[in-house]
Amino acid sequence: MKKVISFKLNGEDVEAEVEPHWSLLHLLRETFELTGAKEGCGKGECGACTVIVDGKAINSCLFPVMEVEGCEVTTIEGLATLNGNLHPIQESFVANGAVQCGFCTPGMIMSAKALLDENKNPSEDDIRTAIAGNLCRCTGYVQIIEAIKKASERREP
Protein backbone atom coordinates (compact mmCIF):
# COMPACT_ATOMS: atom_id res chain seq x y z
CA MET A 1 0.00 0.00 0.00
CA LYS A 2 1.61 3.21 -1.15
CA LYS A 3 1.48 6.30 1.00
CA VAL A 4 2.34 9.88 0.17
CA ILE A 5 4.77 11.78 2.33
CA SER A 6 6.03 15.32 2.10
CA PHE A 7 9.21 16.77 3.51
CA LYS A 8 12.02 19.14 2.75
CA LEU A 9 14.88 17.69 0.74
CA ASN A 10 18.02 19.76 0.34
CA GLY A 11 16.02 22.92 0.87
CA GLU A 12 13.16 22.08 -1.47
CA ASP A 13 9.66 20.96 -0.58
CA VAL A 14 9.06 17.53 -2.03
CA GLU A 15 6.40 14.88 -2.06
CA ALA A 16 6.83 11.20 -2.72
CA GLU A 17 4.81 8.06 -2.97
CA VAL A 18 6.38 5.42 -0.79
CA GLU A 19 5.93 1.91 0.52
CA PRO A 20 5.78 2.20 4.31
CA HIS A 21 8.46 -0.46 4.79
CA TRP A 22 11.05 1.46 2.78
CA SER A 23 14.07 3.04 4.38
CA LEU A 24 14.91 6.67 3.79
CA LEU A 25 18.00 5.46 1.92
CA HIS A 26 15.82 3.52 -0.50
CA LEU A 27 13.66 6.58 -1.11
CA LEU A 28 16.66 8.82 -1.71
CA ARG A 29 18.46 6.44 -4.02
CA GLU A 30 15.57 4.90 -5.92
CA THR A 31 12.92 7.63 -6.09
CA PHE A 32 15.00 10.79 -6.05
CA GLU A 33 18.03 9.20 -7.70
CA LEU A 34 20.30 10.82 -5.17
CA THR A 35 23.00 8.18 -5.09
CA GLY A 36 25.50 10.10 -2.98
CA ALA A 37 24.41 8.28 0.18
CA LYS A 38 25.74 4.75 -0.18
CA GLU A 39 24.61 1.40 1.10
CA GLY A 40 27.63 -0.24 2.69
CA CYS A 41 25.76 -2.68 4.90
CA GLY A 42 22.07 -1.81 5.08
CA LYS A 43 22.10 -2.55 8.80
CA GLY A 44 23.31 0.54 10.56
CA GLU A 45 26.87 -0.71 10.95
CA CYS A 46 28.96 1.34 8.52
CA GLY A 47 27.65 4.88 8.18
CA ALA A 48 28.02 5.05 4.41
CA CYS A 49 24.34 6.01 4.18
CA THR A 50 24.55 8.93 6.62
CA VAL A 51 22.33 11.93 5.87
CA ILE A 52 21.10 14.73 8.11
CA VAL A 53 17.50 14.73 9.32
CA ASP A 54 16.46 17.78 11.32
CA GLY A 55 20.03 18.57 12.19
CA LYS A 56 21.03 15.06 13.28
CA ALA A 57 23.26 12.70 11.34
CA ILE A 58 21.41 9.41 10.95
CA ASN A 59 21.89 6.09 9.18
CA SER A 60 19.32 6.43 6.43
CA CYS A 61 19.36 2.67 5.77
CA LEU A 62 17.59 2.15 9.09
CA PHE A 63 15.48 5.29 9.09
CA PRO A 64 11.84 4.36 8.38
CA VAL A 65 10.59 6.36 5.48
CA MET A 66 7.31 7.25 7.17
CA GLU A 67 9.18 9.16 9.83
CA VAL A 68 10.50 11.61 7.28
CA GLU A 69 7.11 13.28 7.03
CA GLY A 70 7.56 16.98 7.74
CA CYS A 71 11.29 16.69 8.34
CA GLU A 72 14.18 18.53 6.82
CA VAL A 73 16.57 16.17 5.07
CA THR A 74 20.02 17.14 3.82
CA THR A 75 22.10 14.81 1.68
CA ILE A 76 25.59 15.16 0.27
CA GLU A 77 24.03 16.51 -2.92
CA GLY A 78 22.69 19.44 -0.92
CA LEU A 79 26.09 20.72 0.20
CA ALA A 80 27.85 22.05 -2.86
CA THR A 81 26.26 24.77 -4.96
CA LEU A 82 25.14 23.82 -8.42
CA ASN A 83 28.02 25.70 -10.03
CA GLY A 84 30.53 23.59 -8.20
CA ASN A 85 31.36 25.64 -5.11
CA LEU A 86 32.12 23.11 -2.47
CA HIS A 87 31.07 23.34 1.15
CA PRO A 88 34.07 24.12 3.41
CA ILE A 89 34.05 20.56 4.76
CA GLN A 90 34.13 19.19 1.23
CA GLU A 91 36.94 21.59 0.35
CA SER A 92 38.85 20.46 3.35
CA PHE A 93 38.40 16.77 2.52
CA VAL A 94 39.80 17.44 -0.95
CA ALA A 95 42.71 19.56 0.26
CA ASN A 96 43.78 17.25 3.06
CA GLY A 97 43.77 13.90 1.32
CA ALA A 98 40.75 12.63 3.26
CA VAL A 99 39.40 10.78 0.24
CA GLN A 100 40.72 7.54 -1.19
CA CYS A 101 38.19 5.16 -2.70
CA GLY A 102 35.56 7.65 -1.61
CA PHE A 103 32.82 5.18 -0.75
CA CYS A 104 32.67 6.29 2.88
CA THR A 105 33.17 9.95 2.00
CA PRO A 106 29.61 11.26 1.59
CA GLY A 107 28.59 9.67 4.89
CA MET A 108 31.70 10.97 6.64
CA ILE A 109 31.07 14.48 5.41
CA MET A 110 27.45 14.41 6.56
CA SER A 111 28.49 13.24 10.02
CA ALA A 112 31.12 15.98 10.09
CA LYS A 113 28.59 18.58 9.01
CA ALA A 114 26.12 17.61 11.72
CA LEU A 115 28.94 17.93 14.22
CA LEU A 116 30.19 21.30 13.04
CA ASP A 117 26.68 22.71 12.80
CA GLU A 118 26.27 22.00 16.47
CA ASN A 119 29.80 22.50 17.75
CA LYS A 120 31.86 25.13 16.00
CA ASN A 121 35.03 24.21 17.77
CA PRO A 122 35.17 20.46 18.32
CA SER A 123 38.10 18.73 19.99
CA GLU A 124 39.80 15.78 18.31
CA ASP A 125 37.82 13.48 20.58
CA ASP A 126 34.56 15.16 19.61
CA ILE A 127 35.44 14.52 15.97
CA ARG A 128 36.38 10.91 16.62
CA THR A 129 33.09 10.36 18.43
CA ALA A 130 31.06 12.04 15.69
CA ILE A 131 32.47 9.77 12.99
CA ALA A 132 32.80 6.64 15.14
CA GLY A 133 29.91 5.08 13.23
CA ASN A 134 31.40 5.85 9.83
CA LEU A 135 33.75 3.05 8.82
CA CYS A 136 36.57 3.74 6.40
CA ARG A 137 38.84 0.99 5.17
CA CYS A 138 41.23 3.15 3.15
CA THR A 139 42.42 6.15 5.10
CA GLY A 140 42.96 4.98 8.66
CA TYR A 141 40.87 8.07 9.51
CA VAL A 142 43.93 10.28 10.10
CA GLN A 143 43.48 12.68 7.21
CA ILE A 144 39.70 12.65 7.65
CA ILE A 145 40.03 13.85 11.22
CA GLU A 146 42.56 16.43 10.11
CA ALA A 147 40.22 17.61 7.36
CA ILE A 148 37.33 18.06 9.78
CA LYS A 149 39.55 19.88 12.25
CA LYS A 150 40.81 22.23 9.55
CA ALA A 151 37.30 22.84 8.27
CA SER A 152 36.21 23.84 11.76
CA GLU A 153 39.16 26.19 12.12
CA ARG A 154 38.35 27.77 8.80
CA ARG A 155 34.80 28.43 9.79
CA GLU A 156 35.88 30.22 12.96
CA PRO A 157 35.24 33.95 12.48
Partner 1 sequence: MESQLKSVGKRVPKVDAREKVTGRAIYIHDLKLPGMLYGKILYSKYPHARILNIDTSKAEKLPGVRAVITGFNTPEIRIGFMKDQPVLKKDKVRQYRDEVAAVAAIDPDIAEEALDLIKVDYEPLPGLFDPEEAVKEDAILIHEYDAKGKPLKNNILKLPWRLIAGDVEQAKKESDFIVEDSFRVTWVTHCCMGTSGCIALFDLDNNLTIYSITQIPFLAQNDFNAALKAMGLKGKNTRVINTVIGGGFGSKLDTHVYEYIAILLAYRTRKPVKILFTREEEFFAQPPRQPAIIKISQGCKKDGNLTFREVDMLLDNGAYTSWGATTPSVMMVPISSLYKVPNIKYTARSVYTNNIYAQAMRGYGNPQATFAVESSMDILAEAAGIDPMEFRLINVNLPGEITPQNFKVTTCGLKECIESVGEGLNWKDAKKNKKKKRGVGMSSLIHVGGGARVYKSDGHGMIMKVDDFGKISVITGAVEIGQGSETVISQVAAEVLGVFPEDIQIIKGDTSICPWDVGTHASRQAFVSCNAAIMVANKIKKEILDIAGKYFNVDPENLDIKNRVIYLKDEPENSEKQMPLDKLLRRAHFSKHGTMIMAETFYDPPNEMLNQEFKGNLSCTYAYGTTGVEVEVDTETGHVEIKKYFAAHDVGRALNPMLLEGQIYGAAVMGTGYALTEQLILKQGKVMNDNFLDYKILTAKDKIPIVPILVETIDELGPLGAKGIGEPACVPTAPAIANAIHDAIGVRIKDLPITPEKILKALKEKEKKG
Q: List contacts with ligand FES (CB under 6 A).
A: 39-42, 44-49, 59, 61, 99-105, 136-139
Q: How far is the CB of 64 from partner 1 (least distance, A)?
A: 17
Q: How far is the CB of 135 from ligand FES (least distance, A)?
A: 7
Integer Cα distance of 120 and 108 in angstroms: 17
Choosing among ligand FES, partner 1, none, which partner's interface includes residue 143 (Cβ < 5 to 8 Å by kind)?
partner 1
Residue 108: which of 85, 88, 89, 95 has the closest Cα? 89
In three state form, how does the secondary structure of 28-77 look?
HHHHCCCCCCCCCCCCCCCCCCEEEECCEEEECCCCEHHHHCCCEEECHH
CB contact at 8 A, 151 and 91: yes
Piece of the chain touching partner 1 by CB under 8 A; list 5-13, 66-74, 84-92, 149-157 = 84-92
**Which listed residue (31, 62, 72, 103) binds partner 1 by CB under 8 A?**
103
Those residues with Cβ within 8 angstroms of residue 39's Cβ, 6 or more apart along the chain or in another chain: 25, 29, 48, 49, 61
Dihedral sign computed on CA atoms, order 2, 72, 134, 130: negative
Nearer to ligand FES, 105 or 152 (CB): 105
Nearer to partner 1, 118 or 142 (CB): 142
Nearer to partner 1, 84 or 157 (CB): 84
Q: Which residues bind partner 1 (CB under 8 A)?
A: 29, 34-43, 45-46, 48, 75-77, 79-80, 84, 86, 90, 93-97, 99-106, 109, 127-129, 131-145
